[in-house]
A and B are shown apart, each in its own frame.
Chain A
Amino acid sequence: MAVVAAELAPPRSSRAADLRSFLLLAVLCLPALVPLAVVLSAVLTPEVEVWSHLLQYVLPEVIANTIVLVVGVSLGAAVLGTLLAWVTSACEFPGRRFFEWALLLPLAMPAYVLAFIAIGYLDYAGPLQSWLREVFGSSRWVPPIRSTGGVIAVLTLSLYPYVYLLARAAFLSQGRRAQEAARSLGMSAARAWWRVVLPMARPWIVAGAALVAMETLADFGAVSVFNYDTLTTTMYRAWFGMFSVNAALELAAVLLVFVLIVFAFERRARAGLRFATTRDLSQQAPRIRLRGARATLATCFAAVVFGLGFFFPVLQLVLWVVERAAMDLDARYFEFVMHSVVLATSAALIISAASLLVAYLERHHGTLMVKLLVRIATSGYAIPGTVLAIGIVVPIIGVNNTLQSWLSAWLGPSAPALLLQGTLITVLLAYFARFLAVGFNPVESGLNRITAAIDEAAVSLGAAGFQLVRRVHVPLLRTSLMTAAILVFVDVMKEMPITLIARPFGWDTLAVRVFEMTSEGEWERAALPALAIVLVGLIPAALLTPRGEHVA
């Protein structure tokens, strides 16, 4: 890192420095690039028979489904996340202090769990419709939960916190001040919000929505509970049903096209934004005090989202634990929790540190090649976990086999058996490939808002190189870095396929436990590990909020 820091000082970098940082970046991002190379190389040996079938009978509908889902969920999450972030960060209403923190919590709830619970409650055989039939004789007029609308609603509820968290960072740092300034220039409150506050928060909102879009593209759990066919489910169908892992990888390459579209949107939405002033950030304008009907509306809005996205699902999990799963609770759970926490914490530290480094290299040596490389390296987030896991585990097995043959040639039959693929290093490398975007997006948006003027002022005061980073940027980026770390932590807690394939023997986590229960459809018994995932996920969320108020 010191090497990099030395290069940060000159505002304009030389060509040699550009090249050096490109290489450094390439090495740093290697784990994220390998699985993508595997995916793309699959295209070289097309599965003609499978493809002609897919093109004729499957892909037209599936691609339309995927587009509808991604657009619906990203828009839904952007609107929900932004509105909630604004009312909790700029307004005062009954329960604001509680909701400010509580609205983050759905993040800890795995989407497939929410999907399973929603269908259990709202489907024809569920308690709601059964009650309606008892009272009114029919429930035909209730819209079916197992539908496009249903899956969009559930994914929106579980993914909006990405936008909420990022937009909040934006609004807390300058929202109220900007609103106040615009109003002092004679704008109406609504106009000031629309014309000044919202555009200033746009990099964050878009970065959050892009994460939501990618997570939606990669989702397998929730869509399969809904039996909603997307590119991801088609990959599994080609692989598990038609025994063609190659076709699955090729479908993943198609999915990368969607990722490029998401990136293009993200760029467009950010284009033309230059942040020229950042006044004393610690001074906040007072909150807007909502009264009467507006205050009630704000409280109800927050309460409904919190209730649907967190409170009721958790209540259901608790009921299941009491009813069915309590017998499963034994001393091993301490171990499951420890394993999950160790993995999630290491991944959070590694990935947020790497994100900072990547974001800096991009900021100071942002050649086209560098920008492209960063985009490619972060696109792993949109690839379904199982496919990505194969993309990284298979090459690592290749390395392992090569090392093994060297070792055997050297030591003969007494050579120890290597098993790189079953180590935590492999697990973490694969997490890195999968979750780099989750760490990078918040850090990059935060860095975007540190203007050239701040750098110049700092440099003129003698803070150069690593000092600039440590004394000026890191404090300014604290919220962004915390956000990155928390998002990665919670995502790793929920992650299943990579952990399954690459974990060392016996290294079971809470998510592995969920797999053991759900693989034979015993969802109620999975309530215990699912609840534990949620509870452990709350810890970092609790750490974040009290600080958020004071930091940019």
Chain B
Amino acid sequence: MPHRTLSPLARCGALLALGFLALTGCSRAPTELVVYSSRNEQLIKPMFDRYTQETGQAIRFVTDDAGPLIERLAAEGKNSPADILLTVDAGQLWQAAERGLLQPIESEIIKTNIPAHLRDPQSRWFGLSVRARTIVYSTERVDPQDLSGYEDLADERWRGRLCLRTSKSVYNQSLVAMMIAAHGEERTEEIVRGWVANLATEPFANDTRLMEAIVAGQCDVGIVNSYYFGRLVRDKPDLPIKLFWATLAGEGVHVNVSGAGVTAAAPRAEAARKFLEWLTEAEAQAMFAGANLEYPANPNVAPDPLVAAWGTFQPSPLNVAQAGELQAAAVRLMDRAGFR
């Protein structure tokens, strides 16, 4: 009988189907908060666990890049199970808000704890930790007196001495977006062309490799996020490199944020607001930033001692929302300038 030969396969299929049904059928408790996060598991899970411990509020989450998470949120519409979108870049939050996926939250606690330039002007999202992108230099070959702003790295005296990360990095995209906000497109394109002309080698895929190249002598200066520098010197404190607090348009260090907002369709918006408020308070702020050697967004909270040792800096006063608004223009500008 031909049918008999099918039966192992059929049995197997039936088993699989049963398994999937069992999994699909798992319904969530309706009080559980749901977070879509592009900040990775090991940085956020300890926060969730602590909050659950303190308040009894259970939290579920799913991690992915922000791009797919935002598309998923948009497609899910009013049926979305998500309450909170958490990202590692202001541009993505700006885009989610722009597409109507986040709702404004009026909270005095958040307004008090988080400075205005790290918040969406319409209160749909706000920063939770600050990521400073600044200049790193070789202490063997560069006198810090010669360093000033990001713009200065386009000067001819850095010819063949500059290392940059790829323009695909969202951190470079937001830096250039902020430069457009400060200087306009024309002047910014000149600067970026100057950077490209000064490159010692092809752009790197990540900040760590870039700093290793400076240590090895391939180049003398570069631009990196401070926490990558922190990770490197935590393991090897004697490396001949240091951070220099650069200025954007003479005003302060370019910063981006890792931040969050409550989704437009959040089934538990009130609980979500409470959790986000908790995240802006002192204890949570120290944990949130400390886990990745970032700076707390709440200015009253001290950074990790290792981070504090690099000195204090004045952040650029431009609102981080502009990084999102001008990001597409920045990407196009970098394409035109040949910054790969």
Contacts and interface: CB of A to CB of B under 8 A. Distances in A.
The answer to whether A binds B is yes
A285 interface: no
Contacts of B190: none
B210 to A, nearest CB: 9
A280 interface: no
B332 A242 contact: yes
A316 interface: no
A506 interface: yes
Interface string B20-31: 100110111000
Contacts of A244: 328
Given A400-B79, A516-B40, A521 B72 contact: no
A384 to B, nearest CB: 12
B257 to A, nearest CB: 15
Which of A146, A147, A517 has the most chain B CB within a 10 Å cutoff? Answer: A146
Interface in B14-51: 16, 19-20, 23-24, 26-28, 34, 38, 40-43
A180 interface: no
B168 A233 contact: yes
Given A245-B67, A423-B23, A397 B168 contact: no
A243 B327 contact: yes
A261 B203 CA distance: 32
Interface residues of A, number: 75
Interface in A418-434: 418-425
B23 A424 contact: yes
Contact of A425 (B20, B209, B218): B20
A516 B23 contact: no
A53 B335 contact: yes
A2 B27 contact: no
B65 A240 contact: yes
B212 interface: yes
B201 interface: yes
Interface stretch (B3-11, B112-120, B144-152, B311-319): B3-11
B75 A394 contact: yes
A401 B166 CA distance: 39
A239 B213 contact: no
B216 A516 contact: no
B331 A241 contact: yes
A391 to B, nearest CB: 10
A369 to B, nearest CB: 28
Contacts of A367: none
Interface string B85-106: 0001000000100000000000
B61 interface: yes
A377 B228 CA distance: 43
B301 interface: no
A87 to B, nearest CB: 36
Contacts of B12: 349
Nearest to A243: B95
Contacts of A147: 202
Given A5-B2, A424-B20, A425-B24, A503 B72 contact: no
A344 to B, nearest CB: 13
B212 to A, nearest CB: 4
A329 to B, nearest CB: 13
A389 B68 contact: yes
Contacts of A349: 12, 16
A470 to B, nearest CB: 5
B76 A519 contact: no
Contacts of A508: 41
Residues of B in contact with A, size category:
35 or more
B208 interface: yes
Contacts of A353: 9
A243 B96 CA distance: 10
A57 B75 contact: no
Contacts of A1: 6, 9
Nearest to B73: A397
Contact of A239 (B67, B204, B205, B335): B67
Interface string A1-21: 110010000000000000000
Interface string B232-265: 0000000000000000000000000000000000
Given A240-B65, A423-B20, A57 B218 contact: no
Contacts of B5: 466, 470
B207 interface: yes
Interface in A216-254: 224-227, 229, 233, 236-237, 239-245
B173 A397 contact: no
A125 B216 CA distance: 5
A520 B129 CA distance: 15
Given A57-B336, A505-B60, A500 B68 contact: yes
Contact of B335 (A57, A129, A504, A507): A57
B67 A386 contact: yes
A426 to B, nearest CB: 10
B77 interface: yes
Contacts of A2: 2-3, 6
Given A53-B332, A501-B68, A124 B208 contact: no
B76 A401 contact: yes
15 contacts: A57-B332, A124-B213, A124-B218, A130-B216, A241-B170, A243-B95, A393-B75, A417-B27, A423-B24, A424-B23, A470-B5, A497-B64, A500-B64, A501-B68, A521-B206
Given A227-B204, A500-B68, A517-B42, 15 more contacts: A129-B216, A144-B201, A224-B166, A236-B168, A242-B327, A242-B332, A245-B67, A349-B12, A390-B71, A418-B79, A423-B20, A515-B63, A519-B63, A520-B292, A521-B206
